[in-house]
């Protein structure tokens, strides 16, 4: 479900707490995931800048092009909507920076300390803001907003569970196609067809959407791709007509997004009987997962999980194949913070959603990987993708 007004107000409050702790007077938010987080509205295509002005105290203001005025009024949980530009009879100031300057002047914040998303804000936008607000001081508040997003609320978790359910259905279809020795592209297509069917029959009221950019939108975000054998180390590549040979390993990646919340399900499957090298690697990876997952619990840091995995890789003779991380955050982004990697001292807390994905990439035959989506609970974690996690053989 999309968040209700009380849930969104709670989000505002969490971010505002972070801003006040950093002595920031207001934040200008432009990243699509973040404007959606604060408003519950996405224009799908971001062909004109979309901004949320969030003061450290008080309600936010939504600044959008006149083209989006009607749809935002239907959906947005920010009620103060200020259009710019012209679309039919909807007419505002010509430029977004004029509206921005007016809003901050109304709040007495034209000369304040203003937060922006340092890792995302385009340079030309930043320079425009500096010209429009010459008395303001700008600082990077992207990390403050991300800290507020780490723990998911009830609406996000419900959407996340549905995204995981759809991902599982896609993986079931992929495994069936592998049993039939289908090509990479056929396995991928089978998974995506099934996910579309599950979405349209079980959850038709949900948005299977992702976030667009200046040049296009993502109106459907139920995706899959599959790689065979020596193509697995490519990690992210379009599927081809390559078919698996007996004894190879085929890896399939499922990504879904429901109401903006992303899930991930990845599975490797043995195509027939494996040789000794592949068999040993597959069994070792399953043992590494079993041993490291015990650290996925509140009070332990992301780095603790990684170090547990590092020790397990060494115990099983694969210390030279340790990846740079063994999982990452999930939410409005498919690869968001935090990272289950070295030096990441963020402490896990109930309500955080993550992947857990120890993997092996071995040049002699490719590689293998199971990846699950999970939520940290009060006393541990819960896997929300439920596809079998053993040595899958088809």
**Residue 1: predicted pLDDT:** 61
**Can you say whether the dihedral through the CA atoms of 166, 167, 168, 170 is positive or negative?**
positive
Kindly report the CATH number that applies to the domain delimited by 5-149.
3.40.350.10
CB of 34 within 8 A of CB of 11?
no
Tokens of 267: 């599975």
Q: Please state the three-class secondary structure of the chain as a single string.
A: CCCCHHHHHHHHHHHHHHHHHCCCCEEEECCHHHHHHHHCCCCCCCCCCCEEEEECCCCCEEEEEHHHHHHHHHHCCCCCEEEECEECCEECCCCHHHHHHHHHHHCCCCCCEEEECCCCCCHHHHHHHHHHCCCCEEEECHHHHHHHHCECCHHHHHHHHHHHHHHHHHHHHHHHHHHCCCCHHHHHHHHHHHHHHHHHHHCCCCCCCCCCECCECCCCCEEEEEEEHHHHHHCCCCCCCCCCCCCCEEEEEEEEEECCEEEEEEEEEECCCCCHHHHHHHHHHHHHHHHHHHHCCCCCEHHHHHHHHHHHHHHCCCHHHCCCCCCEECCCCCCEEEECCCCCCCECCCCEEEEECCEEEECCCEEEECEEEEEECCCCEEECCCCCCCCCEC
Q: Which regions of the chain carry the CATH code 3.90.230.10?
A: 154-383
In this structure, which topology does domain 154-383 adopt according to CATH?
A: Creatine Amidinohydrolase (3.90.230)
Q: Taken in order 204, 205, 211, 217, is the CA torsion positive or negative?
A: positive
In the block, which residue shows the tokens 């997003």?
Answer: 149
- CA gap 289, 212 in Å, rounded: 34
Q: What pLDDT is attached to residue 146? A: 96
* pLDDT value for 296: 98
Q: What is the pLDDT of residue 215?
A: 85
| Order of all β-strands in the sheet with 222-228 | 222-228, 249-258, 261-270
pLDDT of the chain, 394 residues: tens digit per residue: 677 889 999 999 999 999 999 999 999 999 999 999 999 999 999 999 999 999 999 999 999 999 999 999 999 999 999 999 999 999 999 999 999 999 999 999 999 999 999 999 999 999 999 999 999 999 999 999 999 999 999 999 999 999 999 999 999 999 999 999 999 999 999 999 999 999 999 999 999 999 988 888 899 999 999 999 999 999 999 999 999 999 999 999 999 999 999 999 999 999 999 999 999 999 999 999 999 999 999 999 999 999 999 999 999 999 999 999 999 999 999 999 999 999 999 999 999 999 999 999 999 999 999 999 999 999 999 999 999 999 999 9
Stated pTM of the model = 0.95
Backbone angles phi and psi of 263, in degrees to 5: -130, 160
pLDDT at 216: 86
CB 295 within 8 A of CB 308: yes
Q: How far apart are CA 223 and CA 236, in angstroms?
A: 12
Q: Where in the chain is the domain with CATH 3.40.350.10?
A: 5-149
Please report the pLDDT score of residue 3 as a whole number: 79
For 50, 62, 162, 215, 260, the CA distances from 42, given in Å and listed in that order, are: 9, 12, 20, 15, 9
């Amino acid at each position: 479900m999309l968040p209700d007004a009380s849930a969104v107000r709670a989000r505002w409050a969490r971010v505002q707490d972070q801003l006040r702790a950093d002595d920031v007077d207001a934040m200008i938010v432009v990243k699509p995931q973040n404007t959606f987080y604060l408003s519950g509205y996405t224009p799908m295509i971001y062909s004109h800048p979309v901004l949320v002005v969030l003061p450290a105290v008080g309600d936010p203001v939504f600044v959008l092009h006149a083209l989006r005025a009607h749809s935002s009024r239907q959906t947005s949980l920010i009620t103060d909507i200020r259009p710019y530009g012209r679309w039919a009879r909807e007419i505002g100031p010509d430029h977004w920076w004029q509206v921005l300057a007016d809003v901050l002047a109304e709040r007495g914040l034209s000369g304040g300390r203003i937060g922006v998303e340092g890792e995302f804000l385009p340079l030309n936008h930043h320079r425009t803001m500096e010209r429009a607000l010459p008395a303001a001081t700008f600082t990077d508040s992207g990390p403050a907003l991300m800290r507020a997003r780490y723990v998911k609320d009830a609406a996000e978790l419900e959407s996340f569970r549905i995204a995981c359910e759809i991902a599982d259905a896609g993986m079931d279809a992929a495994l069936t196609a592998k049993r039939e020795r289908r090509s990479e592209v056929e396995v991928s297509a089978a998974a995506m067809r099934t996910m579309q069917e599950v979405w349209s029959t079980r959850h038709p009221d949900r948005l299977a959407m992702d976030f667009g950019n200046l040049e296009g939108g993502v109106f459907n975000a139920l995706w899959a791709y599959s790689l065979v054998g020596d193509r697995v180390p490519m990690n992210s590549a379009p599927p081809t007509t390559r078919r698996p040979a007996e004894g190879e390993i085929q890896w399939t990646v499922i990504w879904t997004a429901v109401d903006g919340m992303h899930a991930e399900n990845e599975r490797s499957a043995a195509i027939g009987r494996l040789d000794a090298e592949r068999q040993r690697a597959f069994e070792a990876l399953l043992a590494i997962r079993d041993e490291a997952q015990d650290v996925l619990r509140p009070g332990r840091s992301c780095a603790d999980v990684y170090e547990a995995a590092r020790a397990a890789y060494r115990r099983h003779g694969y210390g030279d194949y340790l990846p740079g991380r063994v999982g990452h955050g999930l939410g409005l982004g498919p690869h968001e913070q935090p990272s289950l990697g070295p030096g990441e001292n963020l402490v896990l807390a109930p309500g955080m959603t993550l992947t857990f994905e120890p993997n092996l990439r071995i040049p002699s035959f490719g590689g293998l990987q199971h990846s699950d989506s999970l939520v940290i609970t009060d006393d541990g974690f819960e896997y929300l993708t439920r596809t079998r996690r053993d040595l899958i053989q088809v």
